[in-house]
Structures are given as structure tokens and as C-alpha cells.
Chains A and B, each alone.
Chain A
Amino acid sequence: MAESASKMTATRGFPHLAIRMMELLVAALFIYAGVLKALDPLGFANDIDNYKILPWSLCLRLAFFLPWLELACGLTILVRRYYHGSLAILISLITIFIVASVVAKSRGLDVTCGCFGHAGRNLSFAGHLLLDFLILAALLVVARFRLGRNRDPIPA
């Protein structure tokens, strides 16, 4: 009992605050990215099409769907509802995006990221990749902290 209490205490204080800040940052980032892309689905469809992996019809459908999914996940992480599902979706999305970016670049394609609409277009490919790895790392740290052994429980 005492051990359990001390574990719970260990998750409070600075680590808890840092993780919460990280959550807020990631949530804000995905809300921002989702809104930008939802406002310009055609531009985002072109960005997905740049990867030359999917047919245009599917690019368009994803361009309408993914921004709202990012927005929903960002908002639910912010309010800590459907938390685990949101984290799983965002980790999957960012991983798929990183793999697709690297594959496209290795095929010599002129890849424009499109992750943050036009706001991110001035970033180089390496800059985009670094940003994506940082987001992935933040998501994994949050997931590890919330779901790991010394987790800080989140209501399902």
C-alpha cells in the first residue's frame, strides 16, 4: 500500500507537470496542423499525391479525413478523453508519415511535406524530418509515462 502510494507520488510534481506540458504542446500542434489542412483540403491532397504512393481519389479522401482526425485526436488529448486511442492514432500517423517521407525522398521525388499546410513549406526536408521525429519522441514519452509501470492513470 505504502509502496503504491509512493509510486503515485513519484509521478506527481515535476515529471507530471513536464508530461502534461508535453501533452499540451503535442495536442496544440495537431490541432493547429489539423485546422490548417482542413481549410485547404485540395492543397493537402496535392501534398499526399506528391508521395506517389496512392491514387488521386484516395489522396483526396484522406485529405478530407486526416485533418479532422488530427483535430479530434488533439482535442481529446487536451481534455484527456479517449486518450489511449488518440495517442495510438497519432503515433501511427506520424510513423507512417516518416516512413513515407523517407521512401519518397529515396525515390528522388520532390516531396513537400504539407504537415502544417503552407506554414511549414519553408522547412527543408531534413527540418521536416527532425520535427516529425521530435513529435514522435514526445508522443512516445507521453505514452510511456501514462501507460508504463509507474503510470499516471488517465480515465479511459
Chain B
Amino acid sequence: MIGTVVRQMLALCVVAFLPAIGEAFYLRDRIPWKTPVPASELTTLATAESWGNQLMWVDARPDGDYSAAHIPGAFSLNEDRWNELLPQFLQQWTPGRKVVVYCSSQSCNLSRAVAHRLRTEVQIPDVYILQGGWEEWLKAHPK
């Protein structure tokens, strides 16, 4: 019985492996194989601030964190209330403006997820992730 189960599991893994390899090969040029976020999609605080009026901050943290404190002028757009907040965001955004998304820290992935959705679902080309996130902003702008 156990032998049968193991054999079946291996067979299923092989069956799944083949299309997975095919898909990975098909998307090989569009996947960042070495780092989670390509360097071209990251921006430093100094660079972002140099964009002036062309810059639009997006806060990807949960509502509670945003309410507590956020970068002045930042728009709240998180995945918890994506469908509700996205139309409001699109009213504010105009083509040509650069969007910089941040969350709490470097290890936080909320900004990555929101940036990914803005690029793929909303087709906004200039979307960047703030290196260091909110913590980096606090270091540069202590209260």
C-alpha cells in the first residue's frame, strides 16, 4: 500500500514537473531569477524625492499603520481593501507620474505585491519600490 502511494506521488510529481519546466522556459526572460525584485524596479529615497511633483507615494501597509503615520501626501493602497482603494488611487494618478510604493521595512513584501499588481493589472509602467520602506523614511526624517 505504502509502495503504491509513493509510486503515485512520484508519478504525479513527474506529471506536474513537465508543464512547470515548459512554463519556466517560456517565461525565462521575464522572470527575475536571481533577486526577488529587479534593481530597475527599486528606488532609493533620495532618487524618489528628486522626482518632485512627478512622484506619487503609495503606502501598501494595512490601514491601521497608515492611519498612525505615513509619508506626507502618500496614498493608501493595500491589498486588504484593493478593490475599494484602487478607483480612488486611479482618480489621483495621471499618466507620466512615477509611483513609489513602500511598506514597513526592507523585509516587508506588501510593497512588492502592490507594485506587482499596479504593473500587471493596472498597466502602470513607472512603478518602483522604496528601498528600506517606511523605516528608511523615518531615518531620513526623524520626528
Is A105 an interface residue when CB atoms closer than 8 A count as contact? Answer: no
Is B51 an interface residue when CB atoms closer than 8 A count as contact? Answer: no
Within 8 A of B (CB), among A40-68: 40-43, 45-47, 49-50, 52, 56-57, 59-61, 64-68
Contacts A38-B23, A121-B82 given; does A56 touch B34 at CB 8 Å: yes
Nearest Cβ in chain A — how far from B16, in angstroms?
4
The answer to whether B23 and A64 have CB atoms under 8 Å apart is yes
The answer to whether A42 and B116 have CB atoms under 8 Å apart is yes
Q: How many B residues face the partner with a CB closer than 8 A?
A: 44
A-B contact count (CB 8 A): 107
Secondary structure of the B contact surface, majority rule: helix
Within 8 A of A (CB), among B1-58: 1, 4-13, 15-17, 19-21, 23-24, 27, 30-36
The answer to whether B31 and A60 have CB atoms under 8 Å apart is yes
The answer to whether A85 and B20 have CB atoms under 8 Å apart is no
The answer to whether B83 and A122 have CB atoms under 8 Å apart is yes
Q: How many A residues face the partner with a CB closer than 8 A?
A: 41
Is B112 an interface residue when CB atoms closer than 8 A count as contact? Answer: yes
B12: chain A residues at CB < 8 Å are: 69, 72-73, 76, 82, 85-86, 89
Is A110 an interface residue when CB atoms closer than 8 A count as contact? Answer: yes
Q: How far is the CA of A52 from the CA of B105 in the complex (A)?
A: 14
Is B130 an interface residue when CB atoms closer than 8 A count as contact? Answer: no
Within 8 A of B (CB), among A109-148: 109-110, 112, 118, 121-122, 124
A-contacting residues of B (Cβ < 8 Å)? 1, 4-13, 15-17, 19-21, 23-24, 27, 30-36, 79-83, 103-104, 107-110, 112-113, 116-117, 120-121
B-contacting residues of A (Cβ < 8 Å)? 38, 40-43, 45-47, 49-50, 52, 56-57, 59-61, 64-69, 71-73, 76, 82-86, 88-89, 109-110, 112, 118, 121-122, 124, 156
